[in-house]
Chain A
């Protein structure tokens, strides 16, 4: 019970601090603009690629599915890189990780909280991008299925958060490439998980790798839940409930793996004195 309370306290403190770090560097109005411009620009790159090349431009049947995958990918990059970045930022930049560790709260909960702050920011970006897509790009969510959307959304997000913690555990032990670990993994997910194109285009081994990654099923479930159809022919054989089952399994695996890896990393980091490492790298 005490551990749970400490984890909750860490979660609350991490969420509050994460939100402050992300948002209070400027005026709220400028922060709002900042939050809109980045994701919308990312989607507009796709829009122009379609306008220049695709038959039918934005009327191309692939576009809504690609738009949706790219939009929800914002969660992947924010959550994965946000949590592992928090370790580097607190340790190398602000020199605060050792104090966080000494405080009567759980580091694991604290990092989840930092991820929560990133999730909140990503949610704002996703909502704005979806609204932009509906209003300006003519994307229509023709067959919304809340019974599939909400469980899939939360299961996928849970899996992402715990994989983020796993990366944070790895970041505890490394200095040099800690800054980019989350982004590299998120970039790999963009390529391998069918966020922006069907997996069938990838060479066999990469396709197999993609089919082993949870975000593939997450994007597919979200597309089915909002558009009524997925993007990948390989996944057509899976029913909606099978997709949910896979996502539930991935979340469970994420929790087990992240707890194990994080505990081990934490123990090694304490033993080697890495919690206050300052490499100036």
Chain B
């Protein structure tokens, strides 16, 4: 292995380590990260019950709530991460380190993904136990493939956003805030995205969770989703592969471009903006 690859891999491991180990060291986070989304998920389950929805819709809410954990992680711990690092004075250290920035982003993504998976699994487990949600996968391998590809595309998008957010100060915080409810709506976190209409759903598919959720729901509730599916699972899988490639390539380009721009405009060390 060439020395540069060694550095790359060590950087990935080094940046992923604190995120992974943080889950086990600071266990109280688990309570907040599971308990808080579960409050919201529970509220949506009760809303469905209030309007007499079949029990599968509670499954929609639980699965959506679990995927929200990933979206929140991408927004607040990927996209906004360089903003936090700038505020705490760490960003300069990253930039003078003799390593690839992509390796830092990849490490952030892998660490965040692992930690969030623990939280998402806990949300699904708690939701399934509390609300007796039916969770029977018709094709386990396909479900797993969709799930993994959704995460690769999603964290690729997170890497791209973190490059874009490199320039910003408080805007980064507010934009992450803005990308919550509107994305919950357009990606169909709590209802089948097909309800928005085909073209709105197609537009929302730029966020990989839209396709991932729709495909996973089809595999979990095939009969119910016959009336609500957006695209066939195979098509969604193919689109997720494409999105993964596009986002990772764009992230690399954007990181290079925006780092240069931020250097020229002197924004890399600007704090308290």
Contact = CB atoms under 8 A, between A and B. Distances in A.
Contact of A49 (B35, B180, B186, B190): B190
A206 B111 CA distance: 36
B164 to A, nearest CB: 15
B171 A197 contact: no
B92 interface: no
B178 interface: yes
Contact of A191 (B42, B192, B228): B42
B186 to A, nearest CB: 8
Interface string B17-53: 0000000001011001001100110111011111111
Interface residues of B, number: 43
Contacts of B35: 184
B10 to A, nearest CB: 24
A49 B48 contact: yes
Contact of B51 (A49, A188, A195): A49
A196 interface: yes
Interface in B172-218: 174, 177-178, 180-182, 184-186, 188-192, 195-196
Nearest to A177: B32
B182 A51 contact: no
Contacts of A25: 169-171, 174
Given A52-B192, A197-B43, A38 B178 contact: yes
B88 A45 contact: no
A187 B35 CA distance: 10
A54 B87 CA distance: 47
Given A26-B171, A183-B36, A54 B181 contact: no
Given A37-B178, A37-B182, A196-B47, A53 B52 contact: yes
Contact of A54 (B29, B52, B88, B228): B52
B266 interface: no
A230 to B, nearest CB: 14
Q: Is the interface of A mostly helix, strand, loop or mixed?
A: helix
Nearest to A183: B36
A151 interface: no
A104 interface: no
Give the one of A51, A55, A62, A191 with max B CB within 10 A.
A191
A38 B181 CA distance: 6
B43 A190 contact: yes
A81 B35 CA distance: 17
A250 B185 CA distance: 34
A38 to B, nearest CB: 5
Interface in A55-95: 55, 60, 62, 66, 93-94
B181 A45 contact: yes
A180 B180 CA distance: 15
A198 B50 contact: yes
Nearest to A195: B43
A23 to B, nearest CB: 10
Contacts, number: 109
Interface string B145-162: 000000000000000000
A135 interface: no
A34 interface: yes
Contacts of B47: 46, 49, 66, 196-197
A25 B175 CA distance: 11
A46 B47 CA distance: 9
A32 interface: no
A197 B46 contact: yes
A265 B35 CA distance: 25
Nearest to B61: A49
Contact of A51 (B44, B48, B195): B195
B3 interface: no
B191 A202 contact: no
A44 interface: yes
A41 B26 contact: no
A176 B174 contact: no
A187 to B, nearest CB: 4
A280 B271 CA distance: 14
A41 B182 contact: yes
A62 B182 contact: no
A93 B172 CA distance: 14
B70 interface: no
**4 nearest A-B pairs in the assembled complex, by CB-CB distance:** A54-B51, A187-B39, A197-B50, A41-B182
29 contacts: A25-B170, A25-B174, A26-B174, A34-B178, A38-B177, A38-B181, A41-B181, A42-B181, A46-B47, A48-B191, A49-B48, A49-B51, A51-B195, A53-B52, A53-B53, A54-B52, A54-B53, A60-B51, A66-B47, A66-B50, A177-B28, A184-B39, A188-B39, A190-B43, A196-B46, A196-B47, A197-B43, A197-B50, A198-B50
